[in-house]
Structure 1
Amino acid sequence: MQASDQLTLLEALLPIAHDAGKLIMEVYQSDFAVRGKADASPVTEADEKAEAIILKALAELPLQFPVVAEEACAAGEIPEIGDCFWLVDPLDGTREFVNRNGEFTVNIALIEHGRPVLGVVLAPALGQLYAGSLAGGAFYEDSSDRRPIHVRAPAPDGLDVLASRSHGDVTALEKLLAGRKVRNIVNAGSSLKLCLIAAGKADIYPRQGRTMEWDIAAGHAVLAAAGGQVQTFEGGPLLYGKPGFENPHFVASGQQAFF
């Protein structure tokens, strides 16, 4: 894909994400119902309606690619994918949404040859947007500012580690970090963890639980654009388009790779 196409598509994603975020906030401020999916994960009307907004808008873009979206996949609607495809999680962090802590996001990413080349992560309740492309770098945007972001090198006194708020395994995390100097461990929700590393506010995010590709692709895209990486526990890059779209355990990191 041409660099100019990446930049154009990324800018086109921003209003799409904001439109989905606006709908999500309308539901968030209402007395919404929570249902369970086949895998026992929660789903609300915000997930479904936001996904419909995103799918419609992606279908109107001048460049067309297959779309793998969480709720459509849960309903058995899984498209054939090629070298390029979209990964969409309309409401990442549904548990955070239900718990009303604000740490949920709209995630949209474009995958090319197994790697995320651009993506946007919007946290509508926090008024924060992270976005990036391999062609143009990463940036943070709020209501008053847009500024470039980049990963950092770990501090001499230890790593700032991010852990999942809703899916943590303290024993597994301690085992993984054994022998490494750790300064802080902070819990956070949704794909914001990858964005915090991209913004130079943390160093690593290990994940040893089940995740799907749409959960992290947009955050991975922002992190890669900011100079970071996501590795499997074997040390190789985390790739996309896997059978079933399920991820292995991984570690997201900034300037210094974990493995």
Structure 2
Amino acid sequence: MADMQQVFLDAALEAGSLVMSFYENDIDVTHKDDQSPVTAADEKAEAIIFAHLARAFPDIPVIGEESVAAGVVPDITARAFFLVDPLDGTKEFINRREDFTVNIALVENGAPVAGIVYAPAKGVAYRTIAGGAEKLIVTDGVVARAEAIRCRPRGEILTAVASRSHNSPETEDFMRKIGVTDFTSVGSSLKFCLVAEGVADVYPRFGRTMEWDTAAGDAVLRAAGGTTACTDNTALSYGKTKQDSDSDFANPPFIGWAHRLPRP
């Protein structure tokens, strides 16, 4: 079998290069049925990633944000599958902010077990590796340096990272209850990665997300020693279809932790 982490890296780097070619020029924006923005960069980047995965792993189904929007949903019942978000943080991308990412993850038995998050405008990527996680410094589309990352232990100052575009009163209330004393606002799945590399302690998300938004970053966080839990303290799971309360692949509220704290 092909080296999955290398396939993920190659796919993410190529998709990221394509995304940057749009970022540096005019961005045509349309809207999907749910009124979320989408660009040609989303669609073309997803096609690149799908091609890499199909060549290397033709028997593993792929769930991608844009393909699902187009009505293409393979059967993942009792199977491992890939989750792809070719451009997470589309609002950041459209507004020429740098914290948008390319996300690729493998899910097995409901858990994200491998993944990569690449922020091409920042020149950084985070990925799972055997026995942990690492941060990659990318220069001109080539990996220049790699360093192991790990969640930090609880210190005197509790730092939270939360969504720039989707903060909420519930998030503010949660941070107050657990004693957050410092706060950073970031777009896309980089929030998971900041917790994974020891820059922050907790990432609360009470607004709606989809599985392709979170799987790759969640995989990195778990590999770095963290956890991602729902508000009932169960692990956030993947492959959620036929949900009574929401659409397929929609996530409930969750909290990404560097270290578990007492419930507020």
1:246 to 235, 242, 250: 250
1:214 partner letter: W
Superposed CA offset, 1:38-94 (max 9, x none): 111000000000000000110000463100000000011111003200000000000
Superposed CA offset, 1:104-159 (max 9, x none): 000000000000010000000000000004x4310000133101100011211x31
Partner of 1:174: 172
Identity %: 47
* Displacement after TM superposition at 1:97 (Å): 0.2
The number of equivalent residue pairs is 251
Partner of 1:161: 160
Partner of 1:90: 86
Q: Which runs of structure 1 show a deviation greater than 4 angstroms over 4 or more consecutive aligned residues?
A: none
Q: Which runs of 5+ in 1 are unaligned?
A: none
2:49 maps to 1:54? yes
Partner of 2:199: 201
1:139 partner letter: E
Q: Which runs of 5+ in 2 are unaligned?
A: 139-143, 242-247
Distance 1:183 1:9, change over 3 A: same
Distance 1:52 1:63, change over 3 A: closer
- Cα distance in 2 for partners of 1:154, 1:192 equals 20
What CA RMSD, in Å, does the superposition of the two structures yield over aligned residues? 1.4
SS in 2 for 1:196: helix
SS in 1 for 2:177: coil
Q: Is the 8 A contact 1:138 1:226 kept in 2?
A: yes
Distance 1:207 1:40, change over 3 A: same
Partner of 2:141: none
1:121 to 117, 122, 128: 117
Instruction: Give the TM-score taking structure 1 as reference length.
Output: 0.93
Partner of 1:146: 146
- Cα distance in 1 for partners of 2:46, 2:102 equals 9
Superposed CA offset, 1:237-256 (max 9, x none): 00000010000000001133
SS in 1 for 2:55: coil
Q: Is the 8 A contact 1:37 1:43 kept in 2?
A: yes
SS in 2 for 1:256: coil
Partner of 1:16: 11
2:152 partner letter: R
Instruction: Give the TM-score taking structure 2 as reference length.
Output: 0.92
